[in-house]
Amino acid sequence: MARLALAIAKNTLLGRRVVAHGGAIQGRMLEMTLKRGIPVFGGFAADRLIEEDGQIVAVSGMFRGERTTVRSRFGVLMNVGGFSRNNAMRQKYQRHPISASWTNANPGDTGEMIEEMIRHGADTENLDMAVWVPTSLNPDGTLPAGAQGKDGTPYPFMHVGEIAVPHYMWVDKHGNRFVNEASSYVELGEAMYRHDAVPAFAVFDDRAMRNYAYASLMPGMKPVKKWLESGFLVKADTIEELAKKTGIDPAGLAAQVARYNRFAETGVDEEFHKGERQYDRFRGDPTHKPNPCVGAIDKAPFYATRIFPGDVGTFGGVVTDERARVLRTDGSIIEGLYATGNCTSSVMGRSYPGPGASISPAFTFGYIAAKDAAAKAHNTAA
């Protein structure tokens, strides 16, 4: 840790920009590409696939203001991301309510090349799925203060860390819990749709606010004034007042809080078994007994936020085979067309085992596609 801190301090002083994680991997791959003399068309905006004699032979798009077509003898690999930022596609393919403004995916997640592959006969699967992440918004669906990038791109607050802490639960508009709040974030999004709970309400008390991080607040920080003014964060002295202010059924919420507080005493969540799995507990509070994920909601003031199924990317797309080749609805192969990543229907199907479940298959099937195309080149040369 000390070595890392020293390295960061040194680089800051020297004005060096150091990247890690994904940026570092991409940098290394770009370096290898350039060293091999492979041309890179940075800023190429693809909009068309060119088909000749039933085979995809080129990709066409705008590059530096001019229509540019890049031909390939052995295959075109689509690695163009999903369609999180394309509201028309989200309305067309996904469950409702949904909005492109709930996403945290990158601004390039625009989906037009998925539509282009569909135009060329590609089969699709799981277009209604996304890597859901609990996301909070104002009551009218607008962004709370501080949830926008410098260029105006919306990056709503995501709730991953705090969903398993004590003194915190989720309810629907009737005041009833409907899921184990410590579940995987994708499962939480699915549960919201299954139980007609969009939005759901996160309900918590003063101890949760003081002891754990929330949205952009670190533990112990005071709620942002603008959040209280806009109704993003609702604050009340009693559970009944909280219910009235948020539009949750007061009797339902009071009964649910009473049940939940009983579970906190015994440590056993009789409704959804929160805290029974190691998966739940590793994000709970190990100092909280008897259940690191379940604590009473009984210390005023009480708080609530509306939670929507935001996401970090869509998770359905064109259907590919084990060699990353794009398939038609009849199962035949679209010759010359490969795809990987979020523009495809994930190899994970409708489940998301954990972080990495989208990036890793994108890399793996990109590699497989390249090997497959390279084998064609080899066979042609032989």
Ligand X SMILES: Cc1cc2nc3c(=O)[nH]c(=O)nc-3n(C[C@H](O)[C@H](O)[C@H](O)COP(=O)(O)OP(=O)(O)OC[C@H]3O[C@@H](n4cnc5c(N)ncnc54)[C@H](O)[C@@H]3O)c2cc1C
Using CB under 6 A as the criterion, which residues of the chain lie in contact with ligand X when the complex forms?
A: 44-46, 61, 79-81, 104-106, 108-110, 112-113, 312-313, 341-342, 355-359, 362
Q: Which is nearer to ligand X, 180 or 344 (CB)?
A: 344
Whose Cβ is closer to ligand X: residue 200's or residue 362's? 362
Q: Which is nearer to ligand X, 98 or 362 (CB)?
A: 362
In angstroms, rounded to a whole number, what is the distance separating the alpha carbons of residues 262 and 336? 61
Q: Is 76 exposed, middle or buried (0-12, 13-18, 19+ CB in 10 A)?
A: buried
Alpha carbon of 28 to those of 23, 24, 357: distances in Å? Answer: 9, 6, 22
Alpha-carbon span 107 to 163, nearest angstrom = 26
Cβ distance to ligand X smaller for residue 160 or 255: 160
Least distance in angstroms from the C-beta of 355 to ligand X: 4
For residue 260, give the amino acid letter. Answer: Y
Angle at Cα 327 formed by Cα 324 and Cα 332, nearest 5°?
120
- Closer by beta carbon to ligand X, 163 or else 203: 163
Q: Give min distance, CB of 212 to ligand X, in A.
A: 20
Judged by beta carbon, residue 291 or residue 342, the one nearer ligand X is 342
Q: In the bound complex, what is the minimum distance in angstroms from residue 365's beta carbon to ligand X?
A: 10
Q: Where are the beta strands (DSSP E) in the chain?
A: 45-52, 55-63, 66-71, 76-78, 124-125, 130-137, 157-158, 168-171, 200-205, 234-236, 302-314, 317-318, 325-327, 333-339
Closest distance to ligand X from the beta carbon of 232 (Å): 20
How is residue 40 written in tokens? 């890179």
Q: Which two tokens stand for residue 8?
A: 């960061």
CB of 336 to ligand X, least distance (A): 18
CA distance 210 to 318: 46
Q: In the 8-state DSSP scheme, what is residue 142?
A: P
Q: Rounded to the nearest whole angstrom, what is the least distance from the CB of residue 16 to ligand X in the complex?
A: 24
Helix (H) / strand (E) containing 14: helix 2-14
Residue 372 tokens read as 């497959």
Which residues does residue 36 pair with via DSSP β-bridges, in sequence order? none
- For residue 11, the surrounding DSSP H or E stretch is helix 2-14
Query: 135 — phi, psi (to 5°)?
Result: -135, 135
State the nearest-atom distance from the C-beta of 104 to ligand X, in Å: 5
The residue among 79 and 183 lying less far from ligand X, judged by its C-beta, is: 79
In this complex, which beta carbon is closest to ligand X, that of residue 158 or of residue 268?
Answer: 158
Handedness of CA 137, 138, 143, 147 (dihedral sign): negative
The residue behind tokens 């006969």 is 121
Least Å distance, CB 366 to ligand X, is 8
